[in-house]
Structure 1
Amino acid sequence: MTGLAGARSHEDSAEHRRSGAGAGGRPDGPTADWTTRRWLTAGACAALAVLAVLAATGVWVFARSTAISDRLVDGSTPALVASVRLESALVNQETGARGYGLTGEPGFLEPYRSGLQQQKDATAQLRTLLADDPAGVADLDEVLARAETWQSRFGRPVATAPAGAPVALATERADEGRQDFNAIRVSAAHLEKDLEAARDRAHTELHHIRSQRNWIFSLIAAVILALTVLVFAGLRRGVTLPLGRLSDDVRHVAGGNFGHPITASGPADLRRLAVDIEGMRSRLADELAFSDSAREQLDLQAGELRRSNAELEQFAYVASHDLQEPLRKVASFCQLLQRRYADQLDDRAVQYIAFAVDGANRMQTLIHDLLAFSRVGRLHTDNETVDLEELFSRTTDALSIAIEESGARVTHDPLPTVSGDATQLGMLLQNLVSNALKFRSAERTPAVELSARCEDGLWHFAVTDNGIGIGAEYAERVFVIFQRLHTRDAYPGNGIGLALCKKIVEFHGGTIAIDPGHAPGARITFTLPGLPLPQAEPAVDTERVSP
């Protein structure tokens, strides 16, 4: 039923994911499979393309503005200045020639000669500046042609006349020279007007291109602002909002609402992530449902176990009181029967009575051992700090008679402090040492040693003796309850000692085993969790020998 419910839940979740995708969780169209990286790449490429176009336009505006500025600074304005200088040079020539012609004084020729040089320089500069302006070159040629006419008819003849007296030619051609020079002025004024017009056009173009530049840079700023807004809006719609919805859904699930579906939205990779998380949520919900079912079963089993333990406690009480009482009566009345009718019983009857008494006593011992075995892990479960040094000393004191009768030598290493139940650990040490004393060899003086070492956070102990030993084939059998390797006539006991030791060690989280490689005698190793010794101490030799 649980698996069917989990499968149905998983199908419902998958159907919800499909329906959610169709209802808006998954966008339709050619960009439906675009991932976040692809969206970002496309957006960045589009923004770069727009910015590249605007940058190219800005570069063109800058280049155009620079060209107009260069033309204005290096062309139109210097040409206008040169034309003014050219007109000034011609005026100087006319003034000098006219003054010399009226007075004959050589000093008036100085402006004339300097005007010729200035005309030459200005003409050369104008030809260079007007090289790309055919209209300007034509105006310049017209000015120079009229200047040459004035020079040939008035300027040079007057300037070459002898000094010291007025030049008659100057008076004769005064009106003609004045008309020729007026024609020069008109041509020069026309040249200057054309150059001023070219300069004004350059100023107008420069102003226009500056306006275009301002508009283009304003457009670039507006586009950058728009791109910024679009980037934030795109990131918010394509990344932030889907991630926010996904985070909200995940928080609902993490808060314990495992039935809350995960909605897929946004770019393809975020939708895939949401689908994966939804699949994980569905799987976890199924596992949780199965875990709840298993927990319910465990609770039922725990209840049954508590009931069984209660019945076991009741059985232990009955065994310790009600079962032992009839056995005591059997043994007591058999002994009374033997004493009262001893003279009437033959040897066989006495033997039968002895068998009955021994059987009752062994049954009482067996019941006592069974009770001790059943109490491990149920009673005496106090977890406390146990000083094994002191506990071993009390154990050897309790076994002092057996130690003295056997003449055994009992030694031990410095023993640590461990965490556990002192009563059970005392039973463990007592059973191991008593077994070593019981199964001693008649050929050697008994020697029992308890060693201890700490390794990997565990204390490793070993009880070693030089007795009759345990065969390797019995290494597992000796830890099974009621398993005996010898008859009761040879060695008394019920075969429960090592089984009890195994249960105590495993209850404390350790392991116990027989070392098959040790000879002569037996070595039983076991582990216990505990605290390491704060400082290494010399070995302590506790020895009990018979007088």
Structure 2
Amino acid sequence: MNEQPPGARTATAGWTTHRWLRVSVAVTLTVLAVLGSLGVSAMNRTSQLTEQIVDRRGPALTYAVRLEAALVNQETGVRGYGLAGQRDFLQPYATGVTEERDALRRLETLLADDRRGRAELAAVRELAGQWQSRFAVPIASAVPDRAVPLAAARAEEGKTRFDTLRRALTAQQAHLAEERAAASRDLRRATHVRNWTFAGIALVIVLVAGLVFEALRRGITAPLGRLGHTAREVAKGRFEQPIAITGPADLRQLGQDVESMRGRLLEELEFSETSRRLLDEQAADLQRSNTELEQFAYVASHDLQEPLRKVSSFTQLLQRRYGGQLDERADQYIAFAVDGANRMQVLINDLLAFSRVGRVLNDHEEVALEDVVGRTLDNLSVAIEESGAEITHDPLPKAVGDATQLGMLWQNLLSNSIKFRRPDRSPDIRISVTDPGDGGLWEFAVTDNGIGIDREFQEKVFVLFQRLHTRDAYPGTGIGLAMCKKVVEFHGGTIRIDPAYTAGTRVVFTLPVERSAAADGAREAHP
């Protein structure tokens, strides 16, 4: 069952483990069946001989002796009656007649398959009949007297006939005793054969078990062990270790499959190593890019801000000093310059704030959202008062995150709800919270009654610099919702516009929130 050189391969080289087991089991069962038949034959032979001795040979000899005893009793009774002439002496004769009939009947059955025994029994019966007809029956039928004259007259003849009968009985008993002795010898030989047969069966079973165990060890367990050992070596990271391919066809196929998998893993490892080196290079490039971005942010926050402030200051100075002294077109140009400088300064500040999210502002701690929203409402108090906005909210839990970024999130959302209001009504803004249970994320919703966002633009509003209105209609840089998206995603949540709400705008976002007894108590106190 082990791997053989190509030149030594036989027809069994393609046998699978299942076929080897099937053939082995078939051979083992055949051997056991042959041994079992031999054992059964030996047992049957022993049983037959035992039955022959116990049920036939022994009882036949016993009844032959009883037959002789019955005839002797008859002879004794008749002879006593012939001498004394008293009927009491015929009692043994009557008993002997009954016992003779019973013995003859049983012997006929026991000697049914013994030709010599039947011949001897027939001779005994004939001699007994002659003796009884010539001597026993006439004397027993005589009138009782002090002596029976017939007994004296036929005494010598009766003795001669009975001696002949006894010799026939002796010959019969000798034959039956010889038959029983022969059967006993056959039984002893059969018992020895049976014992040796079962000893041989036990030895063959042990040998077969040993051969099967050795075949399974060398053909299945050993190849499986080698395959498992090399597979574990590969699993430990020794990918250069070749897989052992031995054993039956299916185990060799399994080894080839594992070897193919090892080769594929080695290729994937080499590819992964190459990809890792590329990623390391890209990470280094990204690190350099981030450094350059930080340098750009520094330049934007310092070097660009200073000349921009000068441009803004001097244009505002020109506007104040020469406003109304030049023509109307000159005043308009100066107003454009002042507005452009101010919007550029706001845009630079917004871009700096957007770039700092997740990079500079990254202090995660437990934050009370009630306090954050409270500070946001204070910052927007002027806009709230001018617009007449009404802002309500559910009891807010505590979140784990950066307080500054979460403040920017709430301020952008609430200021957008105030800014994009309908001209014919005051803003009505509602902040709601949904407890997701075991989900680990709380769902917040900021709902207003403003102008709303068309469905086709509900994804675009989160793109940087994406505007849906002109600056004259609604001022701003188009960075607010993009910053909200970046803050929410930095905290592990999601943000979207609810398309089912059409009475205004509903912004839905999620944040991971730590449960606190105070927040839960507040929610229970303000259902």
- Whether TM-score is above 0.5 comes out as yes
**1:391, distance to aligned residue in structure 2 (A):** 0.8
Task: Please state if 1:74 is matched with 2:60.
Answer: no
In structure 2, distance between residues paired with 1:154 and 1:335: 177
Describe the superposition over 1:504-534 as per-residue Cα deviations: whole angstroms up to 9, x where unpaired.
2233333334446655543333333335664
Instruction: Tell me, yes or no, if the aligned pair for 1:412 and 1:539 is still in contact at 8 Å.
Output: no
How many pairs are equivalent? 520
**1:445, distance to aligned residue in structure 2 (A):** 2.1
- Relative distance call for 1:40 and 1:351 in structure 2 (3 A) is closer
User: Match for 1:537 among 520, 523, 527?
Assistant: 523
Q: Name 1:111's counterpart in structure 2.
A: 92
- SS of the equivalent of 1:31 reads helix
Letter matched to residue 398 of structure 1: N
Instruction: Tell me, yes or no, if the aligned pair for 1:411 and 1:540 is still in contact at 8 Å.
Output: no
Q: Name 2:446's counterpart in structure 1.
A: 463
User: Match for 2:485 among 467, 492, 502?
Assistant: 502
In structure 2, distance between residues paired with 1:119 and 1:478: 131
Q: Name 1:346's counterpart in structure 2.
A: 326
In structure 2, distance between residues paired with 1:393 and 1:138: 134
Q: Name 2:395's counterpart in structure 1.
A: 414
Taking only aligned residues, the RMSD between alpha carbons, in angstroms, comes to 3.2
Q: How does 1:180-259 map to 2 (within 5 A)?
A: 180-259=161-240
Q: Name 1:13's counterpart in structure 2.
A: none
In structure 2, distance between residues paired with 1:159 and 1:536: 135
**1:487, distance to aligned residue in structure 2 (A):** 4.3
Q: Name 1:279's counterpart in structure 2.
A: 260
- Relative distance call for 1:198 and 1:536 in structure 2 (3 A) is farther
Task: With the length of structure 1 as denominator, give the TM-score of the two structures.
Answer: 0.85
> What percentage of residue pairs aligned between the two structures are identical?
56
- SS of the equivalent of 1:537 reads helix
In structure 2, distance between residues paired with 1:362 and 1:425: 25
Q: Name 2:511's counterpart in structure 1.
A: 528
Task: Please state if 1:511 is matched with 2:494.
Answer: yes
Letter matched to residue 360 of structure 1: A
Describe the superposition over 1:247-299 as per-residue Cα deviations: whole angstroms up to 9, x where unpaired.
11111111111222222222333233222222222222222221221111111
Q: Name 2:357's counterpart in structure 1.
A: 376
In structure 1, distance between residues paired with 2:425 and 2:354: 33
**1:392, distance to aligned residue in structure 2 (A):** 0.6
In structure 1, distance between residues paired with 2:73 and 2:174: 21
- SS of the equivalent of 2:304 reads helix
- Relative distance call for 1:413 and 1:194 in structure 2 (3 A) is same
User: Which runs of 5 or more residues in structure 2 are unaligned?
Assistant: none
Q: How does 1:121-160 map to 2 (within 5 A)?
A: 121-160=102-141
In structure 2, distance between residues paired with 1:470 and 1:130: 121
In structure 1, distance between residues paired with 2:80 and 2:316: 183
In structure 1, distance between residues paired with 2:140 and 2:322: 192
- Relative distance call for 1:343 and 1:430 in structure 2 (3 A) is closer
**1:502, distance to aligned residue in structure 2 (A):** 2.6
- Relative distance call for 1:86 and 1:322 in structure 2 (3 A) is same
Instruction: Tell me, yes or no, if the aligned pair for 1:72 and 1:203 is still in contact at 8 Å.
Output: yes
Instruction: Tell me, yes or no, if the aligned pair for 1:412 and 1:540 is still in contact at 8 Å.
Output: no
Instruction: Tell me, yes or no, if the aligned pair for 2:324 and 2:331 is still in contact at 8 Å.
Output: no
Identify the range of structure 1 (104-113 vs 36-45) with the bigger mean alpha-carbon deviation: 104-113
Instruction: Tell me, yes or no, if the aligned pair for 2:497 and 2:505 is still in contact at 8 Å.
Output: yes
- Relative distance call for 1:454 and 1:115 in structure 2 (3 A) is closer
- SS of the equivalent of 2:367 reads strand
Letter matched to residue 32 of structure 2: L
Task: With the length of structure 2 as denominator, give the TM-score of the two structures.
Answer: 0.88
User: Match for 2:386 among 400, 405, 425?
Assistant: 405
Letter matched to residue 289 of structure 1: E
Q: Name 1:47's counterpart in structure 2.
A: 28
In structure 2, distance between residues paired with 1:540 and 1:162: 142
Q: Name 2:242's counterpart in structure 1.
A: 261
Letter matched to residue 245 of structure 2: A
In structure 1, distance between residues paired with 2:466 and 2:73: 148
In structure 2, distance between residues paired with 1:516 and 1:171: 148
Task: Please state if 1:270 is matched with 2:248.
Answer: no
Q: Name 2:377's counterpart in structure 1.
A: 396
Letter matched to residue 292 of structure 1: E
Q: Name 2:464's counterpart in structure 1.
A: 481
Describe the superposition over 1:301-355 as per-residue Cα deviations: whole angstroms up to 9, x where unpaired.
011000100111111111111111222333445566777x759963566665555
Q: How does 1:26-105 map to 2 (within 5 A)?
A: 28-105=9-86
**1:46, distance to aligned residue in structure 2 (A):** 2.1
Q: Name 2:308's counterpart in structure 1.
A: 327
In structure 1, distance between residues paired with 2:227 and 2:145: 113
